[in-house]
Amino acid sequence: MNKTTILNNGYRLMNLRASLSLTIFILFTALVAVAQAGEFVPRFGFQIESRSNVTRGNDSGLIRPVTADTVIEPYVGFLFTESIDKIKSEISLQLDHQEYVDGTFSAQNFLSIDGFIDYEIIPGRFIWATEDAANTRRIVLEDPGTPDNLQTFNVFTTGPDLFFTRGANEVVLKGRLGTANYSDQLADNIRLLGSAALTRAVSPVMDISLNSTASFVRFDEEFQTDYDLYAFVARLDRDTPWGSLSLTGGYNVLDFESGFKENQPLIEGALVIGKEDGANSLTLSAASKFSDPALDVSDPDFTRLFQAGGLGTVDSNERAGTGATDTKRVEFNFDHRGDIYGFGLFGFSQDIDRPVSTQNSQEEIGLGMNFNFAFTPNLTAWATYFQLETDFKNSDTHIEAMTPALGLNWELQRNWFVSVGAKFEEETSNTAERNFEDEIVFVSLQYQAESIESETE
């Protein structure tokens, strides 16, 4: 019996769909919260938005007419953390409901989850790890992020971590069984992952390691192309007086069931200047590798790598792992944190190719900045700006998007906050009917409980 048959049979037997994995994770979260003395930090509130063009239409009306509407969005969520005895966990969950006053779109519900639970079965030797991430992404990336072009997705993984230590050497073996599921897109898949890493502490500030990973991805739909992804790399991690440095080099193999196979070097690096508790930090990073955005298997640790995509019009991180990509990316991120003001600046350039098909292959250049100023301890002004240029290779479509925004945050009393602001969303394209502008004014009321850690600072 080959590995494809084993995985497909396992998929039918286990039938790990999004609803099941979400239910298991939420129930497990509830059990942990009840059984342990962890920290439960609730949040809830609502936001009202007045939008000039909620349909993302334009005057041509070829795609959809310009339509104004008011959106009311109540939400409830929590952050749960636990780090005692044999359980370590961090779970953030939020449920949003959107109502359109004039009925432009039907009511929408959005669930977002980002969390992990590690259960230490044998201290220092055997951990069972569970992770889940759920959010919303566009169905058609080239089209605007209107409610009729949004779908929910969920990525769930679970499996063992084994640790063997002798002197300055450590061997780590990891395995994961997981699923990636979508509400509308026919890209549900099951994935089996494994890794082995040998790490040696050369000095108190430097580690070197040899790592290998393997990922086997099988789709539920026959028209999707199953694939295997392998990585063999060496890595150096070093703390420095001014920050940290990590370098990774090795080899990638991407093997599709259709017979297509591609090999290439894998290179990653990150330079951090500044300390976590410092006022300033600068991060420079670059990577060239085969990647699966649902779970980046080039990293042997499988640790909290997935970043859930957002609902923003120009959010570049809207991919949830519908297939392997050849990704090349460089980026920088500068952050200043002060008592009175803070600001940040980041930018990136990336090239994403699908080796089998050019569908959704694209080049992106993004730039963003943010600024905040505290007039008083309870009143803060903020401003943000983000722009993104995207070239879709399969359609020759070019899109330029930008979102400037500004506002005020006011703490009414302990843990209660009011925010008011405005933002402008614009996308322009070489396809005229794709252009749109949307002027948004919003006000929100939020309750955000303080964590025990922040109360004691």
Give the CA angle between residues 227, 232, 233 to the nearest 5°: 135
Q: What is the pLDDT of residue 322?
A: 53
Give the number of domains in the chain.
1
Q: What is the pLDDT of residue 451?
A: 61
Q: Please tell me the distance from the alpha carbon of residue 306 to that of residue 133, in angstroms, as a whole number.
A: 7
- The low-confidence residues of the chain, meaning pLDDT below 50, are 1-18, 296-321, 454-457
Q: Which tokens is 169 given?
A: 């050497």
Q: What is the pLDDT of residue 410?
A: 95
Q: What is the pLDDT of residue 180?
A: 81
Task: Choose among 75, 4, 194: nearest CA to 446.
Answer: 75
Q: What is the pLDDT of residue 12?
A: 36
Q: What is the pLDDT of residue 327?
A: 86
Q: What is the pLDDT of residue 131?
A: 85
SS (H, E, C) the chain: CCHHHHHHHHHHHHCCCHHHHHHHHHHHHHHHHHHCCCEEEEEEEEEEEEECCCCCCCCCCCCCCCCCEEEEEEEEEEEEEEEECCEEEEEEEEEEEEEECCCCCCCEEEEEEEEEEEEEEECCCEEEEEEEEEEEEECCCCCCCCHHHEEEEEEEEEEEEEEEEECCEEEEEEEEEEEEEECCCCCCEEEEEEEEEEEEEEECCEEEEEEEEEEEEEECCCCCCCEEEEEEEEEEEEEECCEEEEEEEEEEEEEECCCCEEEEEEEEEEEEECCCCCCEEEEEEEEEEEECCCCCCCCCCCCCCCCCCCCCCCCCCCCCCCCCEEEEEEEEEEEEECCCEEEEEEEEEEEEECCCCCCCCEEEEEEEEEEEEEEECCEEEEEEEEEEEEEECCCCEEEEEEEEEEEEEEEEECCEEEEEEEEEEEEEECCHHHCEEEEEEEEEEEEECCCHHHHCC
Q: What is the pLDDT of residue 148?
A: 77
203 burial (CB, 10 Å; 0-12 / 13-18 / 19+) is exposed
Q: Which tokens is 456 given?
A: 């004691």
Q: What is the pLDDT of residue 342?
A: 94
What CATH number did the domain enclosing 119 receive?
Answer: 2.40.170
Domain that holds residue 436: 3-455
**Strands 436-448, 126-138: pairing kind:** unpaired
